[in-house]
Structure 1
Amino acid sequence: MKMQKTLLLAGIPAVQKNLYHRIQFSVGDPAAWIEFEKTDGKRQSFLVCRDIEMERARKKATVDAVYCPADFTPEAGLSGDRETATAQAVAECLNHKGITAVTSDRSLALIYLEALKNAGIEVHYSPEMGVMERRGKSEDELIALRQAQSITEKVMSMACQLVCHAKARKDGSLEVEGDSLTSESLRARIDHWLLDEGFSNPGSIIACGPQGADCHEYGKGPLRTEVPIIIDIFPCSKSTYYNGDCTRTAVHGKIPVHIEKAYDTAVKAKFAAMKVTRAGVTGEAVHQETIRVIHEQGYETGLPGKESAASRCAMVHGTGHGVGLEVHEPPLLDFKGPELIVGDVLTIEPGLYCPAWGGVRSEDMVEVRERDCESFNLLPDTLSW
């Protein structure tokens, strides 16, 4: 991204990841980061945040100076609403410094845009700001992502083994120690396990049988024998804020031949996609390699039509996505996916879905390197655990 004279990021750092990535300081109240060029040509950055957070920000935030909204009170005074007051202070600060235009990212809220407009300050949009900086991961970020994926794999192993070693009742439903094993109960076990490891979890996908035909169906009700169960876990570390993301498919009891063939195809497609993943290759090229394998094995791709049969088996989504401070972030491994760069961290997750019986998916996380990619995963690709 070409450096602009004055840059602005604003929001709540705990949820606005571009802002957090830039300042490395998490707080649950509104804040704004401003970087501008001084008269001597040097860059200077500062943070505007709530007054009670200033001391902590001075110790932890990667900025040159820290202020609070009261330091830039407009003539009419500040609003009693914190977010409005922060936006007012940003506009007053820029006016005080004689800055008439700023460049911001895709996440700038209208409250800041309105305050800047009312102050006569132009706002320019940069589509790359906050994107490219986050794509090329630093060594510390790579360590955090490896740790998150390692924890994700451990809880995945626990979940898949629990399914495969459960007892089948006469009606085909599963139980563990006399209690029904359901999507909800397994999801709760995963959540509790992750809490003990210092991770939060938005809710794992545990989709049994035909529920798995919808690739993002969370799943509900009893888990059953001899059908595929998609388990997709994507927790976030409470200490580093980086995410894991892993999917496996488990089958209790006898594995039907058509399920085994579909899963074998998804795994083959995953490794074929990984083989072509490297810097300079586009996300679309990786996706096309996945599609090649899917088609060679006799399956379809793309969303079903209105007249599609229930027996249609297809991959209906892209091959993968970037992962970091958010579980879904650029780049996409899909049609029009951009050129990959060194340090991109991606998921590669082919799947096949059929309304008649459900779905299968296998997902690994990889780091893009100059000549190849490196997987962060050690778990086997098996349906029987």
Structure 2
Amino acid sequence: MTITATVLAGIPKSNYSLYHKVRFLVGDPTALITIQGGSDDHSMFIVRDIEMQRARRDARADRISCPADHKPESGLSGDRETATAQATAEYLVGQNVTTITTDRTLPYIFAHHLLLRGLEIQYDANLGVLERRQKDAEESAWLQQSQATTEDAMRMACELIANADVNDQQQLIDGGEVLTSERVRSAIDIFLLERDYLNPKSIVACGITGADCHDYGAGPLYSEQPVIVDIFPQNRKTLYYGDCTRTVVHGHISDNLVRMHMAVCEANAAGCSAARPGVTGEDVHKATIQVILENGYKTGLPTERDPDSFCSMTHGTGHAVGLEVHEPPLLDFGGPELLVGDCLTIEPGLYCRAVGGVRVEDMIILTPEGNHNLNKLYTGLDWKN
């Protein structure tokens, strides 16, 4: 009978594959060992001694130990990470394991000490990838929570822009000062920090700045120009992200922007309708861009020869979200088959160097019957109270 072992190791706070498997948040080196094929199949989580009680209560592992429980004959290093790697190797040898399988995240210090003890290491490029894609009920609830808070932040930001005053230069004014991308971004940061979220730099891109889909935006915001607001915060407790984009226009909305927005919303609906288990990411992308093309717009980046009026969708339809804001699979050409539990963004947009951009982004989770949209937020351009 061959005993096999899978090893995930590192710091769960930053190694998301390990955290996903063990669901225990800690900032110290750890190892999760899964033993199979013998008379005592089990998982062992090696963690710092002061974390053992909490790990016994919360970690997804059959057994909990600390490095001191697995000392090599030469003793443990005084360096915490080295000691954890030594203990991991010692435990595996004690379990009569000769070969381990690991993923792309194994720190080299662990590999080094496994090799010193004569263990063979096999790399599985797909280990954990499908598991992270197929969100369970707990993860789905965490994603719903993060998306709800993201929507609250989006509502605050869009209403701040829509209800601002305006000066003679058509610049927006709030509290007697010019309202800038930076001020709105700070308001978003504070709003989310107060709710225990980390917030990567949000996009608040006004006018022609928004013609570049990933320009963060800078400087004054102006009336009658589209402002793309893209917010993607991480819950500090669960580590799961939200991701939402809306577009807001202060004051009069031109017919051109109305047409762009209608096409984007139709494309969003088409993408959401197409997304279900068994279809591919490419299928969803094709359904989305078909609507863009039917409305008379283009796809792909403009060339230097194209006029500023050239208007197109320049990116894929979306991506997966979870412990990272961008995860596989992509909704684009070449996108793979979709699975139950995939959490995906549907975010078509149109971009024009003459006027700027319009993007509407929702987040969905695939179910056996189709999908569940985590968004309930208004999708229009006019956010004035």
Instruction: Specify if TM > 0.5.
Output: yes
Query: Could you tell me how far apart the structure 1 residues matched to 2:333 and 2:212 are?
Result: 21
Match of 1:71 among 69, 72, 81: 69
Query: Could you tell me how far apart the structure 2 residues matched to 1:306 and 1:10 are?
Result: 49
- Equivalent residue number for residue 138 of structure 1: 136
- Equivalent residue number for residue 281 of structure 2: 283
Which consecutive unaligned segments of at least 5 residues does structure 2 have?
none
Is 2:305 aligned against 1:302? no
- Equivalent residue number for residue 102 of structure 1: 100
Q: Let me know the Cα RMSD of the aligned residues.
A: 1.9
After TM superposition, the structure 1 = structure 2 runs for residues 143-162 of structure 1, keeping only pairs within 5 Å, are: 143-162=141-160
Q: In structure 1, what residue type is equivalent to 2:7?
A: L
Match of 1:174 among 172, 175, 191: 172
SS in structure 2 of the partner of residue 112 of structure 1: helix
Match of 1:324 among 322, 325, 336: 322
Query: Could you tell me how far apart the structure 2 residues matched to 1:135 and 1:334 are?
Result: 17
SS in structure 1 of the partner of residue 105 of structure 2: coil
TM-score under structure 2 length normalisation: 0.93
After TM superposition, the structure 1 = structure 2 runs for residues 149-298 of structure 1, keeping only pairs within 5 Å, are: 149-298=147-296
Offset from partner CA, 1:26-52 (integer Å, 9 cap, x none): 001111101012631x52111112222
Query: Could you tell me how far apart the structure 2 residues matched to 1:305 and 1:252 are?
Result: 30
Query: Could you tell me how far apart the structure 1 residues matched to 2:302 and 2:83 are?
Result: 50
What is the CA-CA distance between 1:252 and the residue it aligns to? 0.8
Is 2:87 aligned against 1:89? yes
Query: Could you tell me how far apart the structure 1 residues matched to 2:352 and 2:71 are?
Result: 60
Q: In structure 2, what residue type is equivalent to 1:35?
A: T
Query: Could you tell me how far apart the structure 2 residues matched to 1:355 and 1:118 are?
Result: 59
- Equivalent residue number for residue 27 of structure 1: 26
SS in structure 2 of the partner of residue 340 of structure 1: coil
Q: Structure 1 residues 172, 31: CA separation in 2 closer, same or farther (over 3 Å shift)?
A: same
Q: Which moved more, 1:360-369 or 1:72-81?
A: 72-81
Q: Could you tell me whether the CA contact under 8 Å between 1:38 and 1:44 is conserved in 2?
A: no
- For these two proteins, the number of residue pairs brought into alignment is 381
Q: Which moved more, 1:5-14 or 1:109-118?
A: 109-118
Offset from partner CA, 1:273-307 (integer Å, 9 cap, x none): 11111111111100111111112222222234454
- Equivalent residue number for residue 347 of structure 1: 345
Query: Could you tell me how far apart the structure 1 residues matched to 2:300 and 2:80 are?
Result: 46
Query: Could you tell me how far apart the structure 1 residues matched to 2:116 and 2:218 are?
Result: 50
Match of 1:126 among 124, 127, 152: 124
Which consecutive unaligned segments of at least 5 residues does structure 1 have?
none
Q: In structure 2, what residue type is equivalent to 1:295?
A: L
Q: In structure 2, what residue type is equivalent to 1:97?
A: Q
- Equivalent residue number for residue 362 of structure 2: 364
Q: Structure 1 residues 182, 133: CA separation in 2 closer, same or farther (over 3 Å shift)?
A: same
Q: In structure 1, what residue type is equivalent to 2:49?
A: D
TM-score under structure 1 length normalisation: 0.93
